[in-house]
Structure 1
Amino acid sequence: MKKWLAVFGVAALVAAPPTSRAEEITRFTPLKTEELTPPQKAWADMIAVPPRNAKFTAPPYRAYIRSPDLAPRLSALSDYLRWNTSLPPRLSELAILITARQWTAQYEWFAHYPLALKGELDPKVADAIAAGKRPDNMRDDEAALYDLVTALYRNRKVTDPVYKAALEKFGERGIMDIIGIIGYYDLVSMTLITMQAGAPNDSVPPLPALSK
């Protein structure tokens, strides 16, 4: 477990309190369609279409909709970060999984673990992250991304070797895309944790609680 301490710090190791199933969430109770203001209704209609196909009653959208000025800005940022960055899904989803593990955000892990595998991330890499370990046998670009993200979370700084490796693999645009992904999914994680949003079912193994 020393490796985990070195990667994420003591704060990330405190076992999270039990989370409720998604259908049991009592915070940010879903609004009914007839309760929506015109701006809320416009945003709900916007996220219901492809590629998002989202319901405004699902996490984290049922929280976002409480701020109809912020919600469309968040979903616009999410549109870019999920589907239009310079990174392939394998890498963008890897960054999201690292963020979910950082926060022990169960709903986020549940949603993105299958997407990471669909994007051809090796399940062994994802499972090592879930266990709080640095994955073995990562591809070179995965290792560069992992080291950049964990340096930011762990040390709040990026050393020259870590930056150089990331620059060689992703360029300056790619580095900013990675920072954008983890920054946005930090916000998503905080929203889901505030909501007490747990995974809706057991189809994806939940993140284990990590301790010293």
Structure 2
Amino acid sequence: MAIQSRLTSLLEEQMDDAQRRVLSNILSGPRGNLDGPFLAWIHSPELADRAQRLGAFCRYDTRLELRLTELAILFTASWWQSQAEWQIHEPIAREAGISEVVIEALRTGREPAFDRDDERLIHRLGKTLYTTKRIDDALYSEAIETFGEPAVVELVGVFGYYALVAMTLNVFEVRRDAQAPLPFAEP
């Protein structure tokens, strides 16, 4: 799938050794492609290397079910109206078990009607964190009781990492599929 962005194209033969090393690590890892923010981050191989390792953990190795991780990612994509982040993760979230009703509500900025309490809690945590920049004691206690302390620490990492991804994709106008309609209206 063709990726578009406002970045200067970087062909492998133009890359320096550090960029080639990071490219090799990304391509041989669980992603297998230079999709999304990696198009930008490869311009800074140190950032790309560190961010891709954090991203691999946040996406594949947290204590949360994939369904809940993908919900946190979609919430972040909708919050930041990150076109490519949504385009990449919406089908993954659907396959992981996030309902069509929840996906469409997130895309359109409406409050989702959740059937599952754990999904409702992920949404509340994300919305509260992004809106107030804090989590109050009651919500914190509920999250710890539901997911456990290590998983809540990892969830905050997922929200933070994917906010970085969204900002990167938005600044560099990364688009995954130029033929498909954008999920969000451009400001």
Q: TM-score, normalised by structure 2?
A: 0.92
Tell me what 1:209 maps to.
Answer: 185
Mapped pair 1:163 → 2:140? yes
**How many Å separate the matches in 1 of 2:182 and 2:68?**
21
Q: CA deviation at 1:210?
A: 9.2
**How many Å separate the matches in 1 of 2:123 and 2:15?**
41
Flag structure 2 segments of 5+ consecutive residues without an equivalent: none
Tell me what 1:174 maps to.
Answer: 151
Tell me what 1:30 maps to.
Answer: 9
Q: Identity over the aligned pairs, expressed in percent?
A: 35
Cα deviation 1:127-180 (Å, max 9, x = unaligned)? 111111121133111111111111011112212221122112111111111110
Tell me what 1:45 maps to.
Answer: 24
Segments of 4+ moved more than 2 angstroms? 22-25, 205-211
Tell me what 2:100 maps to.
Answer: 123
Q: Give the conservation status (yes or no) of the 8 Å contact 1:125–1:138.
A: no
**How many Å separate the matches in 2 of 1:210 and 1:160?**
36
Paired residue type of 1:209: A
RMSD: 1.9
Mapped pair 1:71 → 2:48? yes
Paired residue type of 2:184: P
Q: CA deviation at 1:206?
A: 3.5
Q: CA deviation at 1:54?
A: 0.8
Q: CA deviation at 1:49?
A: 1.9
Tell me what 1:90 maps to.
Answer: 67
**How many Å separate the matches in 2 of 1:85 and 1:137?**
22
**How many Å separate the matches in 1 of 2:176 and 2:15?**
26
Tell me what 1:137 maps to.
Answer: 114
CA 1:137 to 1:59, structure 2 compared with 1: closer, same or farther past 3 Å? closer
Flag structure 1 segments of 5+ consecutive residues without an equivalent: 1-21
Q: How many residues were matched structurally?
A: 186
